[in-house]
Amino acid sequence: MKAILPVLALFLTISGSAQTLRKRTTLLMGSRFDISISARDSLTAEQCIDTVIAEISRIENLISDWKSDSQISEVNENAGIRPVKVDKEVFELTKRALHLSKISHGAFDVSFAAMDRIWKFDGSMTEMPGPEQIKRSVEKIGYKHIILDSLNGTIYLERKGMKIGFGALGEGYAADQCRAVMIKKGIPAGIVNGSGDMSTWGKQPDGKNWSVAITNPFHKDKFFALVPLPVNSAIVTSGSYEKFVIFNGTRYSHIINPVTGYPATGLCSVTVIGPSAEMANGFSTTIMVLGQEAGLKLLKNFPEFRCILFTDTGKFISSDNLSKKTIKSWQANRPK
């Protein structure tokens, strides 16, 4: 349901300040993670990167629905059978994902992992699946059948065949958790980027804010704007300009609506900026599915988050709390 696109480019500057910036790229949670740490010396920075990797691995072992021994896999294996007791951390993450499922009326659905993968976006699909096939593909999805018992700390999926999965939402959560761990350790600045789910804290060694360039999805060799991120913030982009199909003149995204089983249409990309990569991730996916009007209406209830949308026709739209003046200043500083 969620796709993170390589439309966010991180711009780093290194000066002769007292802080040293170290970077490392690795594969975690089935995705690429780029980790940048600013610390007093290289050894400290490298040790912190090791700590970040260990934290992401710890979270993956708890919530991955691909690892047979994870707590989420145990929940899925016992769908329609019995409730499963999980760690508080897993319970709370599921609770937040379930809340997002409810307020979006299923446009985001944490049980999307049970969806049949009938849509192909690798060039092999020559015709649309039939209506009945599409209907059957989402029969096992349904957040309303997820029962959370806060007293006993259990998760129960009422229907056999149901599954919950966090996908890229889990990457956003992991990025946020790593930021919290680093701040607690007194590390002044850094950024954890899980395939486009960026969680940042502090500033670069030269004192400037972390800056992220957003690519224009219709001109992938050009940047739309260079966004200076506030201290302790996150930015996430969801989109479909690299994976989509066109049937009868309609452009179908590879982000699927879990309610209808049909791909999202109308929007090409959504970039969300706010305090949490986990929530920004959830909102970017949700807005792609809901579309411009309903998506922006939902985000209005969360004023700490802002967004930029690109429609399928190439038009860009911003949320109400992101002024045209701000966007123009971002565009004025974009890389040439």
Per-domain residue ranges for the chain?
Answer: 8-56+168-332, 71-167
Residues 6+ apart with CB under 8 A from 316: 224, 308, 309, 310
Q: How far is CA 168 from CA 11, 28, 147, 236, 283, in A?
A: 23, 12, 22, 10, 12
Q: Partners of 76 in the beta sheet? A: none
Architecture field, domain 71-167: Orthogonal Bundle (1.10)
Give buried/exposed letters for 214-237 (b at 16+ CB in 10 A, else e).
bbbbbeeeebbbbbebeeebbbbb
CA Rg, the chain, in Å? 20
Superfamily covering domain 8-56+168-332: ApbE-like domains (3.10.520.10)
pLDDT along the chain (336 residues), means of 10: 48 61 96 96 97 98 95 98 98 98 97 92 85 95 98 98 94 97 97 94 91 88 92 92 78 88 92 98 96 97 97 92 93 87
Decide if 214 contacts 227 (C-beta within 8 A).
yes
pLDDT of 14 reads 46
Q: Does the predicted model carry a pTM greater than 0.75?
A: yes
pLDDT of 12 reads 60
pLDDT of 158 reads 98
pLDDT of 81 reads 98
pLDDT of 335 reads 83
CA–CA distance, 292 with 150 (Å, rounded to integer):
35
